[in-house]
């Protein structure tokens, strides 16, 4: 049986309802990752809260390499992740889910590769389709079975953060073909690809991008809307686990 990992984004800090067998800090050459191992139908699921259990690690300081390497060393083959995002379209409203299919990278100061030194064995990885077709299909099946609405495609624009965007940046991201904006999926998805791990993300729209709705974009709004979507999101992730585990 393939091993599944889950990385919870903002507002998603544990797998509700799954018995945790073990919690540990896994140290590798890139740093330390805090993981918990839960049991599901006799299989081990590796869970990680991307921003730490109390949301203290801002997006640009997440140790993506330590986290992904820890997943690899634990034998994880598939990673499902969640991410809070801002919407770039008035028709894509807060509370809706988007299954990411593409990304555009605007990050600036992150180490986005494991090939970060002179190495005769380094390689350029293909990211034509950055998200796992296998996992995307399983998540869509799970959503259909549980009657949970999810947009099947979406282009994620990754910004450095931790600030939100200006109204002009949001207009530009939309013109460039983006659907949602966030601060974490890159380099996570790229590092997973470098390690040959299948990776998929369910993005939760928490707000309209800056300048699209009256008022400011607020941290509190992001958490409030995410909180309202959380039960539905957990249900979708559990259903996707079912679909993968049961084949």
* Residue whose CB is less far from ligand HPA, 76 or 84: 84
- Cβ neighbours for 206, distance < 8 A, ≥ 6 positions apart: 84, 85, 86, 94, 221, 222, 223, 225, 226, 229
* Residue whose CB is less far from ligand HPA, 40 or 223: 223
Residue where the block lists tokens 């293909």: 126
Q: Smallest distance, Å, CB 125 to ligand HPA?
A: 25
Stretch that binds ligand HPA, among 38-46, 104-112, 148-156, 205-213 (CB under 6 A): 205-213
**CA 62, 66, 70, 72: dihedral to nearest 10 degrees?**
100
* Residue whose CB is less far from ligand HPA, 217 or 240: 217
CA distances from 161 to 60, 110, 166 (A): 7, 11, 11
Residue where the block lists tokens 């049961």: 246
* Residue whose CB is less far from ligand HPA, 9 or 112: 9
Distance of alpha carbon 2 from alpha carbon 138, whole angstroms: 14
Footprint on residues 81-140 left by ligand HPA (CB under 6 A): 84-86
Contact 97, 148 (CB under 8 A): yes
- Taking alpha carbons only, the member of 12, 4, 3 closest to residue 203 is 12
User: Is residue 233 at the binding interface for ligand HPA, with CB under 6 A as the rule?
Assistant: no
- Residues in the interface with ligand HPA (CB under 6 A) total 14
Output the DSSP codes for 37-98.
EEEETTEEEEEEETTTTTT-S-GGG--HHHHHHHHHHTT--EEEEEEEEEESSTTS-TT-EE
Q: Smallest distance, Å, CB 198 to ligand HPA?
A: 24
Footprint on residues 130-189 left by ligand HPA (CB under 6 A): 159, 164-165, 181-183
Of positions 82, 101, 201, 206, contacts ligand HPA by CB under 6 A? 206
- Taking alpha carbons only, the member of 157, 161, 205 closest to residue 57 is 161
| Phi, psi for 38 (deg, rounded to 5) | -115, 165
Q: Smallest distance, Å, CB 165 to ligand HPA?
A: 6
Residue where the block lists tokens 């002179």: 118
* Residue whose CB is less far from ligand HPA, 88 or 190: 88
Footprint on residues 22-81 left by ligand HPA (CB under 6 A): none
Q: Which residue is nearest to ligand HPA (CB)?
A: 86
- Judged by phi (left if over 0) then psi (alpha if -120 to 50, else beta), residue 121 lies in alpha
* Residue whose CB is less far from ligand HPA, 86 or 130: 86
Of positions 26, 80, 222, 244, contacts ligand HPA by CB under 6 A? 222
* Residue whose CB is less far from ligand HPA, 1 or 167: 167
Stretch that binds ligand HPA, among 16-24, 112-120, 137-145, 204-212 (CB under 6 A): 204-212
Please report, as ranges, the residues that interact with ligand HPA according to CB under 6 A.
84-86, 159, 164-165, 181-183, 206-207, 209, 217, 222
């Amino acid at each position: 049986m393939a091993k599944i990992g889950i990385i919870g984004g903002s507002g998603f800090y544990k797998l509700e309802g799954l018995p945790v067998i073990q919690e540990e800090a896994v140290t590798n050459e890139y740093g330390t990752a805090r993981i918990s191992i839960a049991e599901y139908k006799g299989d081990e699921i590796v869970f990680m809260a991307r921003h730490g259990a109390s949301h203290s690690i801002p997006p640009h300081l997440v140790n993506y390499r330590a986290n992904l390497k820890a997943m690899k060393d634990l034998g994880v083959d598939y990673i499902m992740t969640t991410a809070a995002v801002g919407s770039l379209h008035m028709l894509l409203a807060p509370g809706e889910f988007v299954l990411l299919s593409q990304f555009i990278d605007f990050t600036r100061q992150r180490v986005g590769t494991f090939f970060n030194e002179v190495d005769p064995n380094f390689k350029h990885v293909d990211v034509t389709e950055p998200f796992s077709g296998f996992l995307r299909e399983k998540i869509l099946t799970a959503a259909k079975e549980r009657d949970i609405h999810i947009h099947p495609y979406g282009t994620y624009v990754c910004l450095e953060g931790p600030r939100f965007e200006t109204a002009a940046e949001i207009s530009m991201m939309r013109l460039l073909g983006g659907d949602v904006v966030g601060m974490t999926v890159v380099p996570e998805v790229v590092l997973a690809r470098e390690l040959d791990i299948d990776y998929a993300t369910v993005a939760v729209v928490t707000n309209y991008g800056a300048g699209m709705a009256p008022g400011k974009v607020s941290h509190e709004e992001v958490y409030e809307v995410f909180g309202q979507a959380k039960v539905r999101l957990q249900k979708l992730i559990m259903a996707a686990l079912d679909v993968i585990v049961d084949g």
